[in-house]
């Protein structure tokens, strides 16, 4: 049986923004998160879906706002959870469109802000990120808004987060991330096929936020995406505390992915949903 309890962390399933009280939204814009908080902004795989933007997550701690991936449609949804002029940094797992294209509207928002051009923010990504965003934006001047930092596998510091990155198995250079803060760890898979590096990055993590972009079919192509069962197997090998499936393709059955993951992993398993918030201490 698939288990969908919230586990040790508080989980708010918000559904649509219409369900969110106005006062709560205002508090999210003005308030300052101290512990590590993950907000699912977009979790649709490979493209936006009818109910979700493509990949995007907001990770906050100590008042710092890190956007992890910024896929198609995500800048719209992101504004439900933070003003765009309060984003402190962006980390991109890879340069496929569904993980990075909304850097273009973020550039517009920061370059033409009503209060004037905003200070540059760091954008961590694979080699070639600046050129990729400039091409998508049809404007080479993206460095006016962003300070691009090329990621390499290893340990980094982004704001209050200790970040460990590693290459995972995807057709372009792709990073998975382990974010640590206040004694808690969250691992995000990026896009990947089966990957020993992902298991290492998720070792004993409180939460593994793992892509499950494929249905569980025979002869899945390697080095592309995981199905729910494989995501569960990675969580089990890593000894993760909890597994959340994301990158859920609009044409896949999420309940099948959930059941596959729960069959392979003994801990709590759930599906990411836009607006879901996890407080990790």
Which residue number, 28 or 96, has a Cβ lying nearer to Zn ion?
A: 96
Nearest approach, Cβ of 269 to Zn ion (angstroms)?
22
CB of 203 to Zn ion, least distance (A): 24
| Interatomic CA distance for residues 257 and 278, integer angstroms | 21
Distance in Å, CB of 94 to Zn ion, minimum: 6
Give CA angle at 223 (176, 175), nearest 5°: 15
Crossing angle between the packed helical segments 254-264 and 228-238, to the nearest 10 degrees:
30
Cβ 211 to Zn ion, closest distance in Å? 9
Q: For residues 96 and 178, which CB has a smaller minimum distance to Zn ion in the complex?
A: 96
Q: How many CB atoms lie within 10 A of CB 215?
A: 16
Q: Tell how strand 243-246 and strand 269-271 pair up.
A: parallel
Residue 96 or 234 having the CB closest to Zn ion = 96
| Cβ contact 197:190 at 8 Å | no
Tokens of 270: 């759930």
Nearer to Zn ion, 191 or 206 (CB): 191
Beta carbon of residue 97, minimum distance to Zn ion (angstroms, whole number): 9
The residue with tokens 């596998």 is 153
12: Cα separation from own chain's centroid? 17
Distance of CA 124 to the CA centre of its chain: 13
Nearer Cβ to Zn ion, position 96 or 167? Answer: 96
Contact between 173 and 167 under an 8 Å Cβ cutoff? The reply is: yes
Are 93 and 68 spatial neighbours (Cβ–Cβ below 8 Å)?
Answer: yes
Instruction: Identify which of residues 33 and 92 has a Cβ nearer to Zn ion in the complex.
Output: 92
Considering the complex, state which of residue 117 and residue 172 has its C-beta at the smaller distance from Zn ion: 172
Q: Measured between alpha carbons, how far is 45 from 49 in angstroms, rounded to an integer? A: 8
* Minimal distance, residue 214 CB to Zn ion, in Å: 12
Q: How far is the CB of 237 from Zn ion (least distance, A)?
A: 22
Structure tokens at 43: 């979790």
Residues found near Zn ion in the complex (CB under 5 A): 96, 191
């Amino acid at each position: 049986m698939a288990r969908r309890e919230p586990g040790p962390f508080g989980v708010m399933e918000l559904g649509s923004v219409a369900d969110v009280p106005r006062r709560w939204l205002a508090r999210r814009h003005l308030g300052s998160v101290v512990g590590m908080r993950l907000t699912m902004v977009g979790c649709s795989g490979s493209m936006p879906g009818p109910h979700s933007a493509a990949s995007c997550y907001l990770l906050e701690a100590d008042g710092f706002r890190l956007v992890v991936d910024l896929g198609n449609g995500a800048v719209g949804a992101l504004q439900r959870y933070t003003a765009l002029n309060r984003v402190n940094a962006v980390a991109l797992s890879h340069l496929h469109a569904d993980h990075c294209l909304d850097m273009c509207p973020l550039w517009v928002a920061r370059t033409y802000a009503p209060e004037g051009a905003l200070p540059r923010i760091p954008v961590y990504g694979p080699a070639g990120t600046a050129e990729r965003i400039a091409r998508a934006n049809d404007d080479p001047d993206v460095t006016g808004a962003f300070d691009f930092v090329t990621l390499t596998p290893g340990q980094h510091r982004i704001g209050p987060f200790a970040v460990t990155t590693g290459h995972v198995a995807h057709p372009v250079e792709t990073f998975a991330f382990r974010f640590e803060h206040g004694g808690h760890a969250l691992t995000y898979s990026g896009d990947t096929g089966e990957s020993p590096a992902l298991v290492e990055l998720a070792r004993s993590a409180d939460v593994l936020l793992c892509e499950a972009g494929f249905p569980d079919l025979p002869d899945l192509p390697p080095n592309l995406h995981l199905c729910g069962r494989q995501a569960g197997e990675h969580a089990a090998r890593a000894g993760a505390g909890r597994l959340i499936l994301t990158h859920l393709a609009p044409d896949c059955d999420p309940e099948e992915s959930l059941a596959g993951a729960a069959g392979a992993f003994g801990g709590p398993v759930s599906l990411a949903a836009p607006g879901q918030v996890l407080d990790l201490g």
